[in-house]
């Protein structure tokens, strides 16, 4: 019985450790999605180890729990109120099942963001972009999977020849000319994580994004359905390649299991600067993802 209790105590601590190893194997990022819940089980396991007098295992467990708690706290506490931020982006996975387009069109018009990033853009819901052409003449659409493509839109004019679609990789990008100069506006849609194809997609996208910015340097505004959480290796890799950081704290955008579980997998990233930035959630409006409205400064 003592052996069974020890194994039951060590198992969640081992899973918690592997949730930090997404750079070693993509299974680590899949575990990272559930790190808050595994941490709760890990704390119970740590208490059992202490109760049984396993001091060395307890020391290991304490370190893993502290590391995990710090990583989660850093993600949740990121962001500062930014009421005077001059720029904003509205990130939204439209859902290929979306029927009524009018609520989203109305919310986009009401919020009036400077930039829009969309995923699962189908021939039907692409009419949203058509309806917004008057206010958002700069647009770029790129085909992706059967669920729909990715698109960006901006109220600022598009720089000629800057539109980018890279091998149906889940990325759409264009440069626009803002009052503060050229800016890359990017939309991203990543596959589900391991055992699905997110890891190879991210490896390619990181190279593509870094190459794009090396050829045409400019600040970046990137919105995406990452299908991955803020504290993952995946997000760090995209952030490093684009020279950006995530805007705001953790925002649970994708409800599952009739709302019993909501995953924070939609994010907005902007080029690193010291100015305040934050993000707030928008309603589902017929989609299966909530929108994300980010407010920020540009470098």
Q: Rounded to two decimals, what is the model's pTM? A: 0.94
Q: Tell me, what's the pLDDT at 7?
A: 81
Q: Tell me, what's the pLDDT at 166?
A: 85
Token reading at 129: 């972009």
Cα–Cα nearest to 172, from 156, 192, 148, 194: 148
Second CATH level (architecture) for the domain 87-296: 4-Layer Sandwich (3.60)
- Residues 55, 113: Cα–Cα separation, whole Å: 54
- Residues 152, 165: Cα–Cα separation, whole Å: 11
Element (H, E) at 200: helix 198-215
Predicted confidence pLDDT, tens digits, the chain (299 residues): 777 878 888 999 999 999 999 999 999 999 999 999 999 999 999 998 888 888 888 899 999 999 999 999 999 998 888 888 999 999 999 999 999 999 999 999 999 999 999 999 999 999 999 999 999 999 999 999 999 999 999 999 999 989 999 888 999 999 999 999 999 999 999 999 999 999 999 999 999 999 999 999 999 999 999 999 999 999 999 999 999 999 999 999 999 988 888 999 999 999 998 899 999 999 999 999 999 999 999 97
Q: Tell me, what's the pLDDT at 188?
A: 97
- Residues 156, 134: Cα–Cα separation, whole Å: 12
Q: Tell me, what's the pLDDT at 224?
A: 98
Q: Tell me, what's the pLDDT at 240?
A: 97
The region, left, alpha or beta by phi > 0 then psi within -120 to 50, assigned to residue 285 is: left
Cα–Cα nearest to 27, from 191, 190, 195: 195
For the chain, domain boundaries: 2-76, 87-296
- Residues 225, 94: Cα–Cα separation, whole Å: 10
**In sequence order, what E strands does the chain have?**
87-93, 115-121, 138-145, 148-154, 164-165, 171-178, 181-189, 220-225, 244-246, 254-256, 261-263, 266-271, 278-281, 292-296
């Amino acid at each position: 019985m003592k052996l069974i209790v020890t194994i039951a105590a060590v198992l969640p601590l081992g899973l918690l450790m592997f949730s930090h190893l997404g750079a070693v194997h993509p299974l680590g990022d899949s575990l990272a999605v559930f790190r808050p819940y595994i941490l709760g089980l890990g704390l119970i396991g740590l208490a059992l180890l202490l109760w049984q007098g396993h001091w060395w295992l307890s020391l290991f467990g304490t370190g893993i729990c502290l590391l995990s708690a710090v990583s989660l706290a850093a993600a949740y506490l990121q962001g500062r109120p930014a009421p005077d931020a001059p720029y904003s982006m509205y990130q939204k996975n439209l859902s290929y099942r979306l029927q009524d387009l009018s609520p989203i069109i109305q919310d986009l018009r009401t919020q009036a963001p400077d930039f829009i990033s969309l995923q699962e853009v189908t021939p039907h819901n692409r009419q949203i972009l058509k309806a917004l052409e008057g206010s958002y003449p700069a647009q770029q659409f790129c085909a992706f999977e059967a669920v729909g493509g990715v698109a960006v839109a901006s109220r600022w004019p598009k720089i000629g020849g800057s539109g980018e679609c890279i091998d149906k990789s889940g990325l759409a990008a264009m440069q626009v000319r803002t009052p503060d100069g050229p800016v890359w506006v990017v939309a991203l849609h990543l596959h589900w994580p391991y055992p699905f194809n997110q890891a190879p997609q991210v490896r390619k996208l990181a190279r593509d994004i870094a190459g794009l910015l090396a050829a045409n340097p400019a600040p970046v505004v990137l919105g995406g359905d990452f299908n991955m959480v803020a504290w993952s290796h995946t997000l760090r890799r995209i952030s490093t390649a684009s020279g950006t950081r995530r805007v705001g704290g953790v925002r649970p955008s994708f409800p599952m299991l009739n709302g019993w579980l909501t995953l924070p997998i939609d994010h907005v990233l902007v080029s690193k600067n010291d100015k305040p930035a934050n993000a707030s959630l928008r309603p589902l409006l017929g989609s299966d993802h909530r929108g994300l409205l980010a407010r920020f400064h540009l470098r």
